[in-house]
Chain A
Amino acid sequence: MASVSVPMGQRIRFDMRNVWIAPPLLILAVLFFYPLSLIAGVSLAGGGHSISLSHYTAVLGSALFRNALLHTIGIALASSAGCLALGFTLSLILSFVPFPGARILARLIDTFIALPTFLVALAFTFIYGSAGVLNESLMRLLHLPLAPVDFLYSPWGVILAEVTVYTPFVMRPLLAAFSLIEQAQIEVACGLGAGPFRVIRQIILPAAIPALLAGGSLCLLLTVNEFGIVLFIGAKGVITLPLLVYDKAIQEFDYPTACVIAVVNVALSLSLYSLYRMIMSRFGGARAGLV
């Protein structure tokens, strides 16, 4: 019988391949970790030289911050919910309702992802703004002295814009998930007596849950950090965390407060990103590619 020898006293060998980790680490340190550490340092020093949490207590206790946090979370949740509802509906239509041009339309959705977010806000201003096409038409038609449609300058305007911009982020994984559902499953379900809503609820929706969770958490992550749309629309009283950072740092030169809010914003984003990764790994394996 052949014997297997095991080398004794193995020495740790230096692998040259490990050297390649140094350049990306260096770049990350210079471009990301160092600026982040500066922000964290300023947030803890509060403009002085000693490190304390007193500045955090003051900022986090302020009504302005709480208001911004609530707005940020509220708008992000509402936008994400809107994206999920609209994305699911549109993906269903594109995947399961045969009509000419469906494939081209699905590809067009990708181009939406490539567009800058403020572009939609700008387009909305032209359509729904005070001097937009809709208001001008209504004022002319109904002889109104003031613009009747003014939702754009409220949280609803921000939510609508964010839903428009971020729905493709839900649709992309959903379309991929739907493409993997066997047509035969749907046909068999119909043959067994299931109507369209039962098929959607019991066959399509369960298959789409990983994609919905991944798309939804990605939307949440992106909408929490959304700055361009909120700034561009300039909704009355709608201050979100990124906008508050901008106000404090650029308009008021209050860098310590801006840094505290930025750190909270980063913590919130990292938490959401962790959630996103957790969902990805939970529904990993064969379906990981979808999300």
Chain B
Amino acid sequence: MAPDAVIDREQTAAWAAAPVLPGPVAGQASPGAVPSNHGGGITLEDVTVSYKGITVLERLSLDVRPGEIMAIIGPSGSGKTTALRAVAGFVRPTSGRIRIGERDVTDLPPAVRDIGMVVQNYALFPHMRVDENVAFGLRARREANEAVRAQVAACLRMVGMEGYARRYPRELSGGQQQRIAIARALAIRPRVLLLDEPLSALDAQIRRSMLDELARLHRDLPSLTVLYVTHDQTEALTLADRIAIMRGGRLIAFGESQAIYRAPPNRFAAEFLGHANLLPVTLEAPDAEHGLARARFGASTLLAASPHGLLPGQGCLLCIRQHDITLRPAEGPANTLAGIVRAVRWQGDLHSILLDVEGCQLRLSCTPLREPPAVGAVAQVHFAAADASLIPEEAAGNG
């Protein structure tokens, strides 16, 4: 394995400052050259993709800002990879338009879209050495040999793999192969970087390390627009500025990562992103205290944020994250619930406790307890009103 600190800041600066592709070298324009491409965002306008009458992506509209990391997450078959492949040009939309920067690329082949792509299984060319892999895109764009050599060296240094240039992919570990795949994608200085589950094939430890490296890489290449497809919410929350959640080919939720995590717009988003607790409540007063809404849960009255314009009397769900619930009740009766402990699980760095509160399951996680409650005991829990939010009962509509 390469050393942990693999992203070379000097090299990333050199990468960003170097002439943009596909001009062969600085000052030499090649016929058909695409102009400078940094800072290009991605826009999907009502993109629908159907195969043999089956719609796998339905009227998806997304706007990835220049220099932003946007994560598309969702379960298998949600259409997230189809959306990414449509941007890459490997899937032709049945309807809708796709723009990269100002350019409409809907009808353009992948080769001229100016994209870098990293996929789950790296897709390194097995018969080429590491440096030849990284140079592939530059050679395809007919860059001069000298420029290719310089760029390959810079990219390999950038991912901490300069000592592996003459190796074959089969001689590298999974993490190293992924670094080469990233270097290969970045070597062409693409307008956008498309990452399709890039860390899924790695084990947990290397995945965490690669996640840090990707975050650092983007900090050093702030003009790079990244579309990141994953089913792993941790990857999405760690890296992405904004998150789009998909299900069944449709966009279910979309917004700033923290906002969508703190106040998910619907049940699916709340459950998929962070496995939130959802309690069925009835809204009593939408703006009871300090902008918080009052809701009834059985015999209890709970306070929570209500960002989705719910009406009094409306049945809705109170969403509260596991880590926002404390086992010992705070002072005062507000947002305090009593439940029967159904399960207690020690998971090393935390305790996970499952409670039955008026027939509903409530899971909380906390730092390991010296004296965890016994199963069957009655426990009181509390959460802050600002940490809870009310969401519509129906899981429908975009966020």
Contact = CB atoms under 8 A, between A and B. Distances in A.
A17 B126 CA distance: 43
A103 to B, nearest CB: 16
Given A193-B112, A194-B111, A188 B123 contact: yes
Nearest to A195: B111
B124 to A, nearest CB: 8
A203 B125 CA distance: 7
Interface string B265-286: 0000000000000000000000
A231 interface: no
B346 interface: no
Interface stretch (A51-59, A179-187, A241-249, A268-276): A179-187
Contacts of B264: none
Interface stretch (B134-142, B333-341, B358-366, B390-398): B134-142
Contact of A184 (B111, B123, B126, B185): B123
Most interface-central of A182, A193, A198 (chain B CB within 10 A): A193
B117 interface: yes
A202 interface: yes
Interface string A168-199: 00000000000000101101111111110010
A207 B110 CA distance: 22
Interface string B107-142: 001111101110111011111100000001100110
A188 B169 CA distance: 15
Contacts of A189: 125, 136, 140
Given A187-B90, A188-B119, A193 B137 contact: yes
A27 to B, nearest CB: 43
Contacts of A192: 111, 116-117, 136-137, 140, 184-185, 188
A194 B123 contact: no
A190 B109 contact: yes
B85 to A, nearest CB: 8
A191 B136 contact: no
Nearest to B85: A187
A291 to B, nearest CB: 17
Given A187-B88, A190-B109, A193-B137, A182 B123 contact: yes
A191 to B, nearest CB: 4
Nearest to A203: B125
Q: How large is the interface on A (under 10, 10 to 19, 20 to 34, 35 or more residues)?
A: 10 to 19
A185 B184 contact: no
Nearest to A207: B127
B22 interface: yes
Size category of the B interface is 20 to 34
A206 interface: yes
A193 B188 contact: yes
A184 B119 contact: yes
A187 B110 contact: yes
B125 A191 contact: no
A206 B127 CA distance: 7
Contact of A193 (B85, B90, B140, B194): B140
Contacts of A187: 85, 88, 90, 110, 117, 119, 123
Contacts of B111: 190-195
A206 B136 CA distance: 14
A184 B127 CA distance: 15
Contacts of B110: 187, 190-191
Contacts of B184: 188, 192
A198 B123 contact: no
A191 B121 contact: no
Nearest to B188: A192
A193 B22 contact: yes
Contacts of B113: 191
Given A188-B117, A202-B125, A194 B136 contact: yes
B148 to A, nearest CB: 13
Contacts of A203: 125
Contacts of B126: 207
Interface string A189-219: 1111111001000110011000000000000
Contacts of B120: 184
B136 A202 contact: yes
Interface in B122-166: 123-128, 136-137, 140-141
Contacts of B124: 185
Interface string A39-83: 000000000000000000000000000000000000000000000
A185 to B, nearest CB: 5
B286 to A, nearest CB: 49
B127 A191 contact: no
18 contacts: A182-B121, A182-B123, A184-B121, A187-B88, A187-B110, A187-B117, A187-B119, A189-B140, A190-B89, A190-B111, A191-B110, A191-B115, A192-B111, A193-B140, A193-B141, A193-B188, A206-B127, A207-B127
In the A-B complex, list the 4 residue pairs whose CB atoms are closest, starting with the nearest.
Answer: A192-B137, A184-B123, A193-B140, A194-B140
Interface of A: 182, 184-185, 187-195, 198, 202-203, 206-207
